[in-house]
Amino acid sequence: MRRRLGSMDDGTAARAMLAVAMEEARAGLAEGGIPIGAALFGPDGELLGRGRNRRVQDGDPSMHAETAAFRAAGRLRGYGRTTMVTTLSPCWYCSGLVRQFGIGRVVVGEAVTFSGGHGRLAEHGVSVTVLDDPECVALMRDFIAARPDLWAEDIGE
């Protein structure tokens, strides 16, 4: 992943990173979970951690996709040159994670079905790219239609 991402232009690299998050989201769906995935990449495009929402799988409401990816990356110092890619606009919880740890860049698969704190992060100097990816939109739209109860639970509504 490192070499491949390094040789790509920015938009192509963003989509390559999103593909990893989408793999996580689809794996979550296959497990009966909430289909949101994320991954944390280092400055040279190296994958530091990847994860998916684990509310259903682990009965753990604290594991959103972004927090799962952050956890998987382990203990690190200095997130300024890292990129968090997520299939869905980060909620306030996950936006708070980005802000507190100074993650420098966020790539968002889509912000159509849910719009969290990515706009606010941009105001705080985070580089934010929203891809409006139709596959991401379809995945969440279908899920929300099928399991509105689970979706409401996951965003505290």
Applying CB under 8 A, among 20, 25, 42, 55 the residue interacting with a second copy is 55
**Which residue, 20, 24, 29, is CA-closest to 1?**
20
Q: With CB under 8 A as the contact rule, which of the stretches 2-10, 66-74, 106-114, 138-146 interacts with a second copy?
A: 66-74
CA 62 to chain centre: 14
The verdict on 123 binding a second copy (CB under 8 A) reads: no
By CB under 8 A, how many residues form the interface with a second copy? Answer: 33
Q: Report how far residue 47's alpha carbon sits from residue 112's, in angstroms, rounded to the nearest whole number.
A: 26
Q: Considering 24, 31, 66, 153, which one is annotated as catalytic?
A: 66
DSSP 8-state secondary structure symbol assigned to residue 70 = H
Of the pair 13, 64, the CB lying nearest a second copy is at 64
The distance between the two most distant Cα atoms of the chain, rounded to a whole number of Å, is 43
Chain contacts with a second copy (rule: CB under 8 A):
55, 59-63, 67-68, 70-71, 73-77, 79, 91-97, 99-102, 116-117, 153, 155-157
Catalytic positions, please?
A: 66
